[in-house]
Amino acid sequence: MKKAFKTSLMVMIPVILVAPACKKNKDKGTDVTVLKTEILKDISVNVCTDSYVDMLDKANALQSTVTALTTTTNDANLTAARTAWKNMRVTWEQSEAWLFGPVEADLIDPRIDTWPVDFTQLDQILNSSAVLTEAYVDNLDDALKGFHPIEYLLWGVNGNKTATSFTAREKEYLTSLTQNLVKLTTSVKNTWSNGYNVQLSTAGNGSTEFATQQDAFIQLVDAMSDICGEVADSKLKEPFDSADPSKEESPFAKNSIVDFTNNIKGVMAMYQGKFIVDGKGIEDLVRLKNLSLDTEIKSKYTAAISALGAISVPFGQAITAEPTKIQNAMDKIAEFEEVLDGKLKPFLQQQVQ
């Protein structure tokens, strides 16, 4: 929700100085107009839409492992379900770098990734006599469905649950939670592949969502810097500042640092136009016009990823055990955000109309 808001001057000065360069032309043999359209198309199809296709595959895989676990409840099947949950998280967390469009407008994000979990009501549900169908789960508050209640059921509050401790009610709830997650993932995937992808790729050329290509590029760069801000100023900072591990997101699976790393990797996927298949990305425009900016973005990215990688224990422990490493990670991510917001965004405002 938060955006670092810079005053007009920082934007205006480069705009005025570089203004004469805004005429459409061929640069070093590359047709810039064609390139911008290609970038939007590739990001739309190869990055955003493909990520939701991939996420749906992983949601289905999670459902299979949950079915196996509820049918044959043993530790091997529990491990498989946990792995499937983590695999799906990789894609979801990367996709948080493009948290706009259907995932926001159709309220998919709050329904699959609300934190914290409502433990009190979760226990009430398990102890109630309600039939825990998918429809029942769908009607529950957001804090009672999606990734984190599933995580809670798979790992237990201390992260050390064993297969023998699963109750019949837990299995029933887990099954419906997973079905609901598959349903919502299907919805966002379908909305992207059946229309929203065209909205983004035809920005400025008939899109009703994005009147100009600049609108679309600004949407992309805002989404990229937003997730950096979210990780640096909220997900890392709030538990760290209050030295309170209970504020950690994804605490049961001890997966937070992996989540944060994938958030930042998602930013690079957008920049490079590559989620699985490599296509044109924002970097292709930057490299054509401002090679040093490209170098700076990539070095800030690498520094942020290494700083997160240096944290050697789960986040909840690292708050007290490795505070300097956490501080360093927050600083490096903030610097990455600063270059996206303070340099890449004005660059795109100049280069794309």
Partner 1 sequence: MRKTTKALLAILAAVIFFQLACSKMQMPIDNPESEWLSGGSQTAFDGGSGSFSHMFSGMTTVQNRVHEVGDGQFSATFVTAPAPLNPGLGPIYNNVSCISCHVSDGRGKVPGTGESAANMLFRISIPGTGEHGNPVPVPNFGDQLQPRSTLGLSPEGDVSITYTEHIYTFSDGTTCSLRTPDYKFINLYTAIPSNVLLSPRVAAPVFGLGLLEAVSEADILKMADPNDTNHDGIKGQANYVWDVLKQQKVLGRFGWKANQPSILQQVAAAYNGDMGITNLLFPKESSEGQTQFSSNPGSASYELADSLLYSVEFYVKTLAVPVRRNVTNPTVIQGKNLFAKTGCIKCHVSDLRTQVNVAFPQISNQLIHPYTDLLLHDMGEGLADNRPDFDASGRQWRTAPLWGIGLTQKVNNHTNFLHDGRARNLLEAIMWHGGEAETAKNNFAQLSKKDRDALVAFLESL
Q: Report the interface residues with partner 1, using CB under 8 A.
A: 1-8, 11-12, 15-17, 19-20, 22-23, 100, 104-105, 110, 114-121, 124-125, 128, 141-143, 215, 218-219, 222, 226, 233-234, 238, 246-247, 349, 353
Neighbours of 15 (CB within 10 A): 14
> CA–CA separation, 347 vs 63, rounded Å?
44
Listing DSSP states for 213-230 in one string gives HHHHHHHHHHHHHHHHHH
Do 329 and 311 touch, CB atoms closer than 8 A?
yes
Question: Which among 112, 93, 187, 120 has a CA at the least distance from the CA of 151?
Answer: 112
Smallest gap, in angstroms, from Cβ of residue 143 to partner 1? 5
Q: Report the residue number, 237 or 298, with the smaller CB distance to partner 1.
A: 237
Smallest gap, in angstroms, from Cβ of residue 31 to partner 1? 18
Q: Report the residue number, 79 or 219, with the smaller CB distance to partner 1.
A: 219
Terminal CA-CA length for the chain: 25
Helix (H, G, I), strand (E, B) or coil at 264: helix
Q: Report the residue number, 56 or 344, with the smaller CB distance to partner 1.
A: 344
Smallest gap, in angstroms, from Cβ of residue 57 to partner 1? 28
Smallest gap, in angstroms, from Cβ of residue 277 to partner 1? 27
Smallest gap, in angstroms, from Cβ of residue 150 to partner 1? 17
Burial of 233 (0-12, 13-18, 19+ CB in 10 A): middle
> CA–CA separation, 176 vs 326, rounded Å?
37
Longest dimension (CA), the chain: 71
Smallest gap, in angstroms, from Cβ of residue 89 to partner 1? 19
Q: Report the residue number, 1 or 131, with the smaller CB distance to partner 1.
A: 1
Smallest gap, in angstroms, from Cβ of residue 204 to partner 1? 12
CA angle 256, 261, 265 (to 5 degrees): 145
Smallest gap, in angstroms, from Cβ of residue 142 to partner 1? 7
Residues 6+ apart with CB under 8 A from 50: 275, 276, 277
> CA–CA separation, 205 vs 226, rounded Å?
26
User: What letter does residue 43 receive in the DSSP assignment?
Assistant: I
Q: Report the residue number, 6 or 323, with the smaller CB distance to partner 1.
A: 6
Q: Report the residue number, 69 or 236, with the smaller CB distance to partner 1.
A: 236
Q: From its phi and psi, is residue 16 left (phi > 0), alpha (psi between -120 and 50) or beta?
A: alpha
Q: Report the residue number, 87 or 225, with the smaller CB distance to partner 1.
A: 225
CA angle 229, 235, 239 (to 5 degrees): 135
Provide the CA 321 distance to its chain's centre, in angstroms.
27
Q: Report the residue number, 185 or 351, with the smaller CB distance to partner 1.
A: 351
